[in-house]
C-alpha cells in the first residue's frame, strides 16, 4: 500500500473530530521521498488560533504513528 493511500485512510479517521468542531482537512500532497505531508485546514480549523497545535500535536502525531515514512505534516 502506498504512503499516499495510508495518509488518505488516516485522514478519514481524523476527519470526524475536525468536522465536529466545524472544520475539515484537505490533503494537498504526499512527498514519499521526504515524508512530508502537505494539508490545508479549512472551515473553523483554518481560522482557529489553536490550529497549529492541532496540526502538530494531533494530526502530525497520528500520521507518524500510523504511516511509516511520514516525517512532518505542514499546512498551506
> In the numeric block, which cell numbers belong to residue 27?
490533503
Whichever domain contains 23, its CATH number is 3.30.300.130
Average per-residue pLDDT in the chain?
Answer: 93
Beta-carbon contacts of residue 29 (< 8 Å; ≥ 6 apart)? 36, 37, 38
Split into its structural domains, the chain has a count of 1
User: CA 32 → CA 25, 26, 57, distances in Å?
Assistant: 19, 18, 21
- Provide the pLDDT for residue 28: 98
Q: What is the mean pLDDT of the segment spanning 29-52? A: 91
Domain extent for 17: 3-75
Amino acid at each position: 500500500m502506498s504512503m499516499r493511500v495510508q495518509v488518505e485512510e488516516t485522514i478519514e479517521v481524523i476527519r470526524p473530530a475536525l468536522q465536529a468542531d466545524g472544520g475539515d482537512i484537505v490533503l494537498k500532497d504526499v512527498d514519499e521521498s521526504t515524508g512530508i505531508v502537505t494539508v490545508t485546514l479549512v472551515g473553523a480549523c483554518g481560522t482557529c488560533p489553536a490550529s497549529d497545535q492541532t496540526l502538530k500535536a494531533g494530526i502530525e502525531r497520528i500520521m507518524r504513528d500510523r504511516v511509516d515514512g511520514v516525517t512532518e505534516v505542514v499546512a498551506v
